[in-house]
Chain A
Amino acid sequence: MLLLIQYTLIFASVLLLVALGGCFSEHSGVINIGLEGIMVFGALGGALMMKYLPADAPAAVIILLSIGAAMLVGIIYSLLLAVAAINFKADQTLVGTAMNLLGVAAATVFVKAINTAENPNNVSSTIQYINAKKAFLVNIGGFEFNWFMALAVALLLLSWVLLYKTRFGLRLQACGEHPQAADSVGINVYKMRYAGVMLSGLLGGVGGLVYITAGVSEWKFENGVAGFGFLALAVMIFGQWKPFRIALAALLFGLFRALSNVYTGFDFLASLNLPSTVYNMLPYIISLIVLALTSQKSAAPKAEGIPYDKGSR
């Protein structure tokens, strides 16, 4: 049971962070399908930082630096979307899809190059970070507390405050709902959209790092992040683009994802004798059902996906 909670919380943290990222981007008016790719790159940044930090560095330093690296790389990668969608008014869905394809491929190439440079016989795309990972964990009784959980909660609160209590949030949402209105009162729509996309890069990047450190201590980058970016989009839609609802949705999806890791620990589930693949499929199936049922009354920002052109009004 404790294990189930632990896994639920950590997977929910991933989904929450990435979905919040998507939420910022979409509230600014840019659809971010590329979250998957952003996660991969954020994960790469964090993993490399953990790999190269000296093993005896203090835990706090490891935590801060690897999170910082994941955020930074996530932001840089998200700029691809920002430049293409905001400056060149490209189709946001296509750019996002391209970013997902590029993300896994480019990360694989980088890691392989690094590995082969260290040891010519090593052609794997795996990075190990066994020691560094320990910095994130604190054992409380049998429960393995992960600093990322605290980070997710902190960023959730911060996101809510930012969206609903500050000038920035009000302006960001105006850009996603009615950019012409925002423009007419002197708000720079392009800048706000850049901010939205970059925030999604920051949150998506750190989400990627959390994902690859969730259960394991090495990551094979060929695998990408197994559709978690898309699951996060489903969480965001189920959460109706609102941070606290997103958090609840993330917990629900996280629970189903966690079940596949720990279902053998529950007698009645184990006795059902279902193959493990069924549990692996669960979150994805749930997201299909949830989206089919909820997409009717969607509260999506009205202007999302439409490039803003100052000329047309």
Chain B
Amino acid sequence: MENPYAIEMLNITKRFPGIVANDNITLQLRKGEIHALLGENGAGKSTLMSVLFGLYQPEEGVIKKDGKEVSIKNPNDATALGIGMVHQHFKLVECFTVLDNIILGMEPTKNGFLQKAEARKKIVALSERYGLHVDPDARIEDVTVGMQQRTEILKMLYRDNEILIFDEPTAVLTPQEIDELMQIMRNLAAEGKSILFISHKLAEIMAVADRCTVLRKGKYIGTVDTKDTTVEALSAMMVGRDVKFHVDKEDKTPGDVILKIENMTVASRMHHNNAVKNVSLEVRAGEIVCIAGIDGNGQTEFVYGLAGLEPLVSGKITLCGKDITKASIRSRSVSGISHIPEDRHKHGLVLDYTLEDNIVLQRYFEPEFTKAGFLRRKNIRSYAEKLIDQYDVRSGQGPVTVARSMSGGNQQKAIVAREIDRDPQLLIAVQPTRGLDVGAIEYIHRQIVAQRDAGKAVLLVSLEMDEVMDVSDRILVMYEGEIVGELDPRTATAEEMGLYMAGAKRKEQ
């Protein structure tokens, strides 16, 4: 009988000093199936893939291709075995054309000269066969994220890869593009390709995958058929306990206007045009307003303008009746704006400072922490300890842990603790759960809702549909720097929101 598996990783164990990253993990990918690999951050998914690509050598276990044991010493071995991967962060050269990116590393040449015409024929044929529309001559920097992803897929097909790995492929796509990608994945599987789909989005796994292998804390939990399971059961396998997906919150009537933005326009530092165009909005006490949209539609610049990181081209910002349009970052922060930034490494933490220093980053100058120009280290320590305890921030050495050495989830918790404990009037949370696992997401959502219930104004900027629908009281969709629609999460559907996000629909002016 023919071996039904395209690739098998049997009883893989990989140890690092002090930690077992993969503990006796088995993953069997059938030919022509879509197989999901599910697990929280740190569950060992990346390590397992690194083993498959020969970046790490496992201490125990074997890898079999078509039933025969193989040895994978480096990524080139993996490529030779027909294993290809679309990385979460695309590995494309921005100033190259789509065609150049596809052939890079496998260039057809004649007497040392590139034979692009030959490559083009093959690429066009592949893109027609699998329904992957690309423009071979467009530069990567000019095409949409969706086309970049199709380029990555074509890269694998061009190399005749049989085993295709997708690492969190939907994170950067619109709902419509996600549907398209899933259709592409089904086409590929129907053509006999075997697909491994790494994700922690349960709904997508249920929608597209045939089977799902779950890892937790480096251990193999099990493999299930998606048609025999539920989202709840999968998440319990992943987290090890039941998780609430829905954030419980009571209806609340918003109070006074806390933040008022009038006709705000902000320039983009990168592209020399206005990234935010004439945006007006209000956030009231006791409500969570969410700015939804696809990444890169001006949300970043909008927050920069609001937080004072970037000057406004025009417009006016009022906080509790006070004009703060021209106020410095510190004075904004002192007058009651807390900001959980999008990029926690760039704007959230000083990575090489200790946790306690990071916790007092916006308050070190207050009399409680400074006397005559000298820091009162004792007070800083006890304050940091209080927050660490209260918000359950886990780290190696407590207050003196260097921030860089902490896990992403705990870094984020530290920022959330710091920002919320300052008792702000307005909390700006930008993608507060990016890259976090289900448990941490649940925690942070609870904290945000608690702020709202305490009568604060919350402005949430998010790219995650579920988060937008679940947490917010009011949704504003941003498209190309403008607010194109306002939705009520209780009545709106994901499809409707997707149309606004893609710019296909907008409210009447």
Contacts and interface: CB of A to CB of B under 8 A. Distances in A.
Given A165-B114, A167-B109, A187-B105, A178 B94 contact: yes
Contact of A166 (B87, B94, B109): B109
A166 B114 contact: yes
Nearest to B102: A185
Given A166-B114, A167-B112, A187 B94 contact: no
Interface stretch (A99-107, A169-177, A219-227): A169-177
Contacts of A165: 113-114
A178 B89 CA distance: 12
A83 interface: no
B87 to A, nearest CB: 7
Nearest to A301: B95
B112 A186 contact: no
Contacts of B207: none
Contacts of A178: 91-94
Contact of B93 (A166, A168, A173, A299): A173
Contact of A184 (B75, B95, B96): B75
B75 A173 contact: no
Contacts of B103: 170
A166 B75 contact: no
Contact of B112 (A166, A182, A184, A187): A166
Nearest to B85: A184
A165 B112 CA distance: 9
A299 B141 CA distance: 13
B105 A182 contact: yes
Interface in A199-239: none
A61 interface: no
A185 B104 contact: yes
A166 B92 CA distance: 19
A216 to B, nearest CB: 40
Contacts of A168: 112
Nearest to B76: A186
Q: Taking chain A's interface residues, is the majority helix, strand, or loop, or is none over half, making it mixed?
A: helix
Contacts of B40: none
A185 B105 contact: yes
B100 A170 contact: yes
Interface range on chain A (Cβ under 8 Å from partner): 20 to 34
Contacts of A183: 75
B79 interface: yes
A171 B114 CA distance: 11
A57 to B, nearest CB: 34
B107 interface: yes
A245 to B, nearest CB: 15
A171 B155 CA distance: 15
Contacts of A173: 93, 96
A180 interface: yes
A181 interface: yes
Given A181-B93, A185-B106, A167 B114 contact: yes
Interface string B57-81: 0000000000000000001100100
Contacts of A167: 107, 109, 112, 114
Given A177-B96, A178-B92, A184-B87, A166 B113 contact: yes
A201 B75 CA distance: 32
B109 A187 contact: no
A54 B425 CA distance: 87
Nearest to A180: B91
B112 A171 contact: no
B91 A184 contact: yes
B79 A186 contact: yes
A171 B85 CA distance: 20
A299 B94 CA distance: 12
Contacts of B107: 167, 170-171
Nearest to A165: B113
A189 to B, nearest CB: 12
B461 to A, nearest CB: 27
A51 interface: no
B151 to A, nearest CB: 11
Contacts of B106: 185
Nearest to B55: A310
B113 A177 contact: no
B104 A181 contact: yes
Interface string B108-119: 010011100000
A181 B96 CA distance: 12
Contacts of A180: 91
A177 B104 CA distance: 13
Q: Choose among A167, A182, A187, A302 the residue with the greatest number of B CB atoms under 10 Å from its CB.
A: A167
Contact of B114 (A170, A174, A182): A170
A171 B107 CA distance: 9
A161 to B, nearest CB: 8
A304 to B, nearest CB: 13
B17 to A, nearest CB: 15
B365 to A, nearest CB: 34
Contact of A174 (B76, B87, B96): B96
Interface string B136-160: 0000000000000000000100000
Contact of B94 (A184, A185, A302): A302
A166, A182, A184 interface centre (most CB from chain B within 10 Å) = A184
A165 B116 CA distance: 9
Interface string A40-72: 000000000000000000000000000000000
Interface in B349-387: none
A184 B86 CA distance: 10
A170 B105 CA distance: 9
A178 B105 CA distance: 13
B207 to A, nearest CB: 28
B75 A186 contact: yes
A186 B114 contact: no
Nearest to A176: B93
Contacts of A185: 79, 91, 104-106, 155
A165 to B, nearest CB: 5
Interface in A141-179: 165-168, 170-171, 173-174, 177-178
B109 A182 contact: no
B337 to A, nearest CB: 33
Contacts of A171: 104-105, 107
Interface centre among A165, A174, A181, A187 (most CB of B within 10 A): A181
Contacts of A187: 104-105
A180 B88 CA distance: 13
B271 to A, nearest CB: 12
Contact of B104 (A182, A299, A302): A182
Q: Which 7 A-B pairs have the closest CB atoms?
A: A185-B105, A181-B91, A167-B107, A184-B91, A177-B93, A178-B93, A186-B76
5 contacts: A165-B114, A170-B104, A171-B107, A178-B92, A185-B91
Interface of A: 165-168, 170-171, 173-174, 177-178, 180-187, 299, 302
Given A173-B96, A178-B91, A185-B104, 14 more contacts: A166-B109, A170-B96, A170-B100, A170-B107, A177-B93, A177-B95, A178-B92, A178-B93, A178-B94, A181-B93, A183-B75, A185-B155, A187-B105, A302-B94
